[in-house]
Structure 1
Amino acid sequence: MKLFRKLLRFLFYVLLIPVVYLVVSLVLTAITVPREAKDQPADQVIYLKTNGVHLDIVLPRAAMTADLSKDLKRTDADAYMSFGWGDENFYINTPTWGDLTFANAFRALFLESTTLMHLTRYRNKQEDWVEVRLSVEELEKINTYLVNSFKPDANGIKEMLKDAGYGSRDDFYKANGSYSCIKTCNTWVNTAFKESGLKACLWTPFDFGLMGKYD
């Protein structure tokens, strides 16, 4: 009986952890961090996009600084570029949710890992993107955050993985940081907004958290 009770207690705590994580995540997602510089004119535009789970920051070509544009693959016809960040193994080995395995998910959430920037090029604005208006200073901070997310090679060049994209219009680059259940692809985007002084969630691992602040 003692062994049985210990087993039940163990199962209870195992099940309690994701429940607590979910509750805390929802509470912190609901708490809004307001925009800092409310007196600055919000005459610049960027966008948020999601695939239903994963958030990206989208910048028009004209909104990208020279430091951010440097070394990135693109053509003259590419008017927008989206930036995402995530676990390297998860990005490369889980191109669709049908490819998701427990091992890949566990490794991404709980083990130290290398990360990638995922860049996708667009010729036209997409209807499902959410518009975010910001000032010139806030836009510069977004650019700086994105630049610092790349992990350059020994020569200071943004390092692109060869033939690693999902299609002809996206690419992967080496990134800084390690993915975890605390720092996810969506918390990375939310942190970009917080550090740039934009309205954001206090913390969120969800895509709908930040999107909901701008709908």
Structure 2
Amino acid sequence: MRRILRLLGVVLLVAVAAVAFGTLVPRPLYSSAADEATPRHILVFTNPIHTDIAVPIDKGVLERFGFLLDAGIEADLPEARYLVFGWGSKAFYIGTPTWSELRPGPVFAALTLDDSVMHVDLAGAVALPQQTVRRFEIDEAGFAAMLDFIDRSFVRGNAGVQRIPEVAYGAYDGFFEANGKFNAFAGCNTWTAAALREAGLTTGWWNPLPVTLNWSLGLYNWPPGPSGDQPGGVQP
């Protein structure tokens, strides 16, 4: 029993050290000088286990992600203000739309190895501030690089992106086959962190949890952006 307790203690210490290292060590270690012109902004939506990136919708974004319109995502609705992107475990993301539907199978898949999906949703106007949403100002080059990263996350076949039929949380969202495998070490929040680094922001070295990602974003990106409301579905 003592050996088991000692082993559990070592595992706990290693986990705490990994989370601390991942949060406190910046990535990249050395940031290049930021462009003082920041004509763009993005939002990061947070819940207890997951983060999404919201991209303001304009003509250029609609043209860039026109394949989503072709796939049935109504991003050109007048009430739509943001395209919201998230990457995650296929079994867990699709199989757990609410906490009441949590089941062992999807949890096990997410903690081991699973295929991944992209979730695309729409948000209307977002009132600021509120704690579950953070706004970041970025330059044009960072914005374009982040869009490239998001675009590369979609699997494409001969017919283009592959929407998963008859799977959605609501009337305005959808799931798509995605590149990469999901596991406990490379999950939804590490995907968000990678996208934000493409945008020119600094994150922690490894951020598997929303709370550690938000800590590192606040630590290394100054001035911090205001908070805002959680997204609601587009209400036509």
TM superposition score category, shorter chain reference: 0.7 to 0.9
| 1:66 partner letter | E
| Equivalent in 164, 173, 178 of residue 175 of structure 1 | 178
Corresponding residue SS for 1:165: coil
| 1:122 partner letter | A
Cα distance between partner residues in 1 of 2:102 and 2:16: 20
Contact 2:49 2:210 in 1 (8 A): yes
Corresponding residue SS for 1:114: strand
Corresponding residue SS for 2:156: coil
Cα distance between partner residues in 1 of 2:92 and 2:187: 12
Which residue matches 1:124?
Answer: 125
Cα distance between partner residues in 2 of 1:117 and 1:22: 30
Cα distance between partner residues in 1 of 2:25 and 2:62: 31
Corresponding residue SS for 1:71: helix
Cα distance between partner residues in 2 of 1:41 and 1:31: 27
- Sequence identity percentage: 26
Which residue matches 1:139?
Answer: 143
Which residue matches 2:85?
Answer: 83
Contact 2:146 2:196 in 1 (8 A): yes
Which residue matches 2:23?
Answer: 29
CA positional deviation for 1:40: 4.3
Alignment RMSD: 2.3
Say whether residues 1:67 and 2:64 are aligned partners: yes
CA distance 1:15–1:178, shift in 2 (3 Å): farther
Contact 2:138 2:199 in 1 (8 A): no
Cα distance between partner residues in 1 of 2:7 and 2:94: 32
Which residue matches 1:105?
Answer: 107
| 1:79 partner letter | R
| 1:183 partner letter | A
Corresponding residue SS for 2:161: coil
Cα distance between partner residues in 2 of 1:151 and 1:14: 40
Cα distance between partner residues in 2 of 1:61 and 1:35: 28
Cα distance between partner residues in 1 of 2:174 and 2:8: 38
| 1:21 partner letter | A
Contact 2:92 2:106 in 1 (8 A): yes
| 2:105 partner letter | A
CA positional deviation for 1:81: 1.1
Which residue matches 2:232?
Answer: none
| Equivalent in 36, 43, 55 of residue 47 of structure 1 | 43
Cα distance between partner residues in 2 of 1:18 and 1:69: 46
Q: Structure 2 unaligned segments of length 5 or more: list them.
A: 219-223, 226-236
Which residue matches 2:158?
Answer: 154
Q: Structure 1 unaligned segments of length 5 or more: list them.
A: none
Judging by fraction of residues, say which structure has more helix: 1
CA distance 1:203–1:69, shift in 2 (3 Å): farther
* Most deviating of 34-43 and 77-86: 34-43
Contact 1:84 1:185 in 2 (8 A): yes
